[in-house]
Each structure stands twice: as C-alpha cells, then as structure tokens.
Structure 1
Amino acid sequence: MGKFGIAFTIAILMVACKEDPSAKEESKQGFRMTDEERNATPQVQKQPEKNFRTFTNLADTTFIRLADFSDGFAYDLRYATENNFLKEKVYDCAECYTRVKTAKALLMANKEFEKYGVRIKFFDCYRPNSVQYKMWAIVPNPQYVANPKKGSIHNKGGAVDITLETLDGKELDMGTDFDFFGKRAYHDMTELPRKILENRKLLKETMEKHGFWSTRTEWWHYNLSGAHKDKVANFKWECE
C-alpha cells in the first residue's frame, strides 16, 4: 500500500474512534429517550381515597362526629368564634356532632342537594347542655335562647342550624345572616327578592322531605322529627 493509501486508512480509523457526545450521554443515563418519551406527560400518583366510618353496629342515639362519616359538608361553626349574636366564644373548639339518626337524615338530604350543585353548611349542631347554660347567662331571654333547665333540641343532638353553599364554596343568599332576629328571617316573609325565596324554598322543602321540620322565625333552624323525645345531653367532645 502506498503512502496515500496508508494516510487515508488512518483518517478513517480516527473518525470511527472519535467519541459521540450523545453516546456518552446515553452511557451516563443507561438509556436514550425517544422524542415521544421526552415529551410525554408525567404520571401523577393518585391520592388514596379517604376511609370514612360507617354506621354499622351504632345505635341511632349514639353521638358521632359528622366529619368522620363524610367530607361532603361545609362548616362555619359560629359559637366557636365571636362572630355570633352572643359576641362571645362559647365552644372550646369547632366540631359538629349529632346523633346517628340525625346524621343519616343529613347525609340523605345532602345527597339530594348535590343534584342542584349545592351542599349543607353548618352554623351549629349538637350543643352540650353546659353550653346552653353559658348562653343563658349571657342572654337570658327565651325568645332567643332556650332555658337550659328544659333544654333545646340542640342539646338532644337532633337540631342543626344550616345554610346552603355552592360546591365551590359560595353561600346562597338567604336574605339575612345566621341568628338574625327579625321578621326578615321568618319563613312566611314573602316580601323578598325572588332568588332569596327560591333558595329558602329549596332548603326547606328538601330538609322536610328527609324528616326535618322548620322553625317559623328562623330560616336556618331544622329539627329532626321525633328528636324532642330524646334526653338532654351534656356530652363534650375532645379538642386537639
């Protein structure tokens, strides 16, 4: 082979042995990604579903924490704040407890409300009788606070104070705030905008359909039928 042939062969070998940067990167990674793989949407790991308690083996009169059985409700428990007509905090912490039979009826009502794109929002639920005494000491007026010696259906775990909100958290207009003491809060007040009357009607008719009855002077207050027969309770929940 002549000098020219030897030089040409050496040039070919040098090109063949030159390191390919992409090959180096592939070696570091252990594989080479295709364009399709590189542009693919990353897989998001699904969060495990919450495990809620069931009513199995629970008596209808048992007190339960509603949030342990569903996450479909909203809460603004006013008596655990100073944003109430008492202007004082009378609960140590905000929790919504009811008896099992009340919770069952609330879950059924809420399921129906969801068809309309709304859900129940709680202002008050079960109220220990000791709290009723606190409220009476602040406002000893039976027009606004039940006498604790007799107790209220709240003290029996069968009453709730509620409104409705959209599933993204916007309260429906009911015409007044919670615990507004005046004729504008009455169910038979018809001199209100049509939308407010429709909102109250949806609340009232659905709750009545699922075993609750309303109080004429308070659009937010509902009692479970038959709950007045239960005993006044002073069960107190733990605060974490």
Structure 2
Amino acid sequence: MKRFVLLALSVAISTVAFAQKYKYIDSSKVMGPDSYLKDIKAHPETRLVEIKKYIPEIALDIRYATTNNFTHQQMYGEARAFARLPVVLALKQVEADLKKQGLGLKIFDAYRPYAVTAHFYEVAHDTNFVADPRKGSKHNRGCAVDLTAINLKTGKELDMPTGFDSFSKKAAAAYMDLPKAEIANRAILKTAMEAHGFREIATEWWHFDFNGWSEFPLLDIPFSEIK
C-alpha cells in the first residue's frame, strides 16, 4: 500500500528499485527476476500464475492499478492478479464452494512486488495496516490475497463491515458492533477461505494468508516480467 505519483513515475521508480539495494532490508533476502526464474526452473510447482487464467469466472477489482485506493494514486501499471500456483488452486476450490451458494470471489490484490510494499510503508507507517518492509509482506511472497464475496447473479459485493483498505476499527476481523448481515457475510467468506488453507489476519477482514507462506521467498518482480 503506497504512493507513486503518476503511472510513468511509478514505472520509473519500480524499475530503479529492482536494480538497487533496498532501504529497509538486505537485498539478499529479496528475490529479483533472475533469481526467481532460476528458482521456478527447479520448482515449477511454486511459480507465480495469473489468477484469472486459472479461474476465469473470478471477478477482479485491482485497486492499486487505479487511484481508488488509500494512497489515491496508481501503484500498478496493469490491472492483473498473480499468486503462487498452490494458492491459486486453493482459490479455485473456494470459488467452487461459494458457487453452490450463488456467490463468488472478487480480488482486490494478490501478489505485490516488494518495492511497492516498501513504498506503502512510507505513506502509512502504521504496521497494523501496512506491512513492515523490514520483514516484507505475505503479498510479496505471492501467498496473500485481498478479496470479498459477490452475488453471482447481480455481481454486487456482499455487505461487509467496511470497504477494502479501510483503516477503521470496524475492519478488524473480530469486530462485532455491526449489523447482523455484515457479520454473517464476513463469516461466509472466512469459512470458505479457511476450509481451503487460508487464514484471516486480525486487522483486515478482507486479507487472507495461505498456510505455508513462510516457505516462499520475498519477491520483487514487476507484473510485466512474470512469465
């Protein structure tokens, strides 16, 4: 979650970031494009894949490819969503389960390059809502998704406690001073996600980490370089 200024500036900043040392973390702890390609040659089952290609029916609202996010600036040059292959296969199962209830998933964000996480921290230093760049984010590992549930007939999002990327106390996963419908909808999403290997985080009802995320390295690869 961060703050580029214009799309052109965003691309320029990220390009430089991929080629230089990092401000908050030793560069040896972050895998760039060349190292990533070598790694997935040895372990193709862990590669980043485009979510929409594996789950064509899933809805996307990639907020950081627009100005409709907490920074009010465009973070990504492309409105695409990627995650590690095991994560996407698990999401496919979640989508299938929800479909039985007439529901589906809408993705706000998934894999996020490390440089973007570091930039988010400079915008909002509250690590309750943005990842500490000294540790990196599960998003940087391709093992976290930000999402909500939608009605398949109407395409509308179910009523939830807050919108995406809210810094309100109502965004907390266990916050209960809410309308019954919002609590119920949040529970539907949580139940479906946890049934397939995801865990919610305490501060954001929309954020789910995939079990085993610690086995995957931090990545700093622009979308355009993901094959």
Q: Using structure 1 for the length normalisation, give the TM-score.
A: 0.72
Q: Whole-Å Cα distance in 2 between the matches of residues 215 and 206 of structure 1? A: 15
Q: How does 1:17-166 map to 2 (within 5 A)?
A: 59-166=44-151
Corresponding residue for residue 236 of structure 1:
222
Query: Which of residues 182, 186, 204 in structure 2 aligns to 1:200?
Result: 186
> Larger radius of gyration, structure 1 or 2?
1
Matched to 1:210, the amino acid is: H
**Deviation string for 1:109-162 (max 9, x for gaps)?**
110000111111011100011111222232233232212232100000000000
Structure 2: 5+ residue stretches without partners: 1-42
Query: Which of residues 191, 197, 209 in structure 1 aligns to 2:195?
Result: 209
Aligned partner of residue 144 in structure 1, secondary structure: coil
How has the CA–CA distance of structure 1 residues 226 and 82 changed in structure 2, closer, same or farther, with 3 Å as cutoff?
same
Aligned partner of residue 119 in structure 2, secondary structure: helix
* Segments of 4+ moved more than 3 angstroms: none
Deviates more, 1:140-149 or 1:180-189: 140-149
The answer to whether the Cα contact below 8 Å between 2:51 and 2:83 also exists between their aligned partners in 1 is yes
Q: Which has the higher contact order (CA 8 A, sep 6+)?
A: 2
Structure 1: 5+ residue stretches without partners: 1-57
The count of aligned residue pairs is: 183
Q: Whole-Å Cα distance in 2 between the matches of residues 216 and 142 of structure 1? A: 12
Corresponding residue for residue 3 of structure 2:
none
Aligned partner of residue 88 in structure 1, secondary structure: coil
Matched to 1:88, the amino acid is: Q
Corresponding residue for residue 175 of structure 2:
189
- Report the identity percentage: 37
Matched to 1:184, the amino acid is: K
Q: Whole-Å Cα distance in 2 between the matches of residues 209 and 174 of structure 1? A: 20
Q: Whole-Å Cα distance in 2 between the matches of residues 185 and 145 of structure 1? A: 13
